[in-house]
């Protein structure tokens, strides 16, 4: 029986590489896979899944016609990149694809934003997914498991701003809770000192 999977991880945990690997595995077996991604992430162009090691693949854009597209194509599997940017309605559509078309859907995304708050799509996936799995990586500063997507401006962590600000290693680093808290405390001290290093 098909399932809705939610595989989450911090930035730089290899989620996009996993998607490309899954697609390759299905296709090597003569099976078909459809890949969807969000229109929000334009770092490498619209409608592309790109891993940090340089592999890239075209993808369909998440939209209100997803179920219709899947029903027409009848793939063996559907994979979704950047699922944190999906709307609750799009997540429910993924569940419909699983329940009504009996096609597995594997959604990959970030769990939380740079302030540690759930994304809307991630929240709905936590509420509806059949299986929830973590894609792990290590903290940028130590060897603990990374849990936070920490936003940086230069070498300074920032904790205010819009929820969505697209970027890669130039703007975000995966940190463990301890290192995230250290950066937050440092940022608060700098704010109290008027932005000057003490």
Domains and CATH numbers, the chain: 4-134 (3.40.50.300), 148-192 (no CATH)
Rounded distance, CA 70 to CA 101, Å? 9
- Predicted TM-score (pTM) of this structure: 0.85
For residue 130, with 0-12 CB atoms within 10 Å meaning exposed, 13-18 middle and 19 or more buried, which class applies?
middle
Catalytic positions:
82
H or E element: which one contains 131? Answer: strand 131-134
Rounded Cα distance between 16 and 169, Å, is: 14
Task: Give the tens place of pLDDT for each residue, 178-194.
Answer: 999 999 998 888 777 76
Tens-place pLDDT, residues 127-143: 999 999 999 999 999 99
């Amino acid at each position: 029986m098909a399932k809705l999977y939610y595989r989450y991880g911090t930035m730089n945990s290899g989620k996009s590489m996993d998607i490309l690997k899954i697609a390759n595995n299905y296709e090597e077996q003569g099976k078909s896979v459809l890949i969807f991604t969000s229109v929000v992430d334009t770092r490498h162009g619209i409608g592309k899944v790109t891993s940090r090691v340089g592999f890239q693949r075209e993808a369909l854009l998440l939209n209100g016609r997803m179920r219709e597209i899947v029903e027409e194509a009848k793939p063996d599997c559907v994979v979704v990149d950047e699922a944190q940017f999906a709307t609750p309605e799009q997540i429910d559509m993924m569940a419909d694809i699983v329940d009504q078309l009996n096609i597995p859907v594997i959604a990959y995304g970030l769990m939380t934003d740079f302030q540690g708050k759930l994304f809307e799509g991630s929240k709905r996936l936590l509420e509806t997914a059949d299986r929830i799995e973590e894609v792990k990586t290590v903290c940028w500063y130590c060897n603990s498991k990374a849990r936070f997507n920490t936003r940086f401006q230069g070498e300074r962590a920032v904790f205010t701003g819009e929820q969505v600000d697209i970027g890669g290693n130039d703007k975000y680093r995966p940190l463990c809770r301890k290192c995230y808290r250290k950066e937050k405390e440092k940022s608060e001290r700098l704010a109290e000192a008027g932005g000057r290093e003490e």
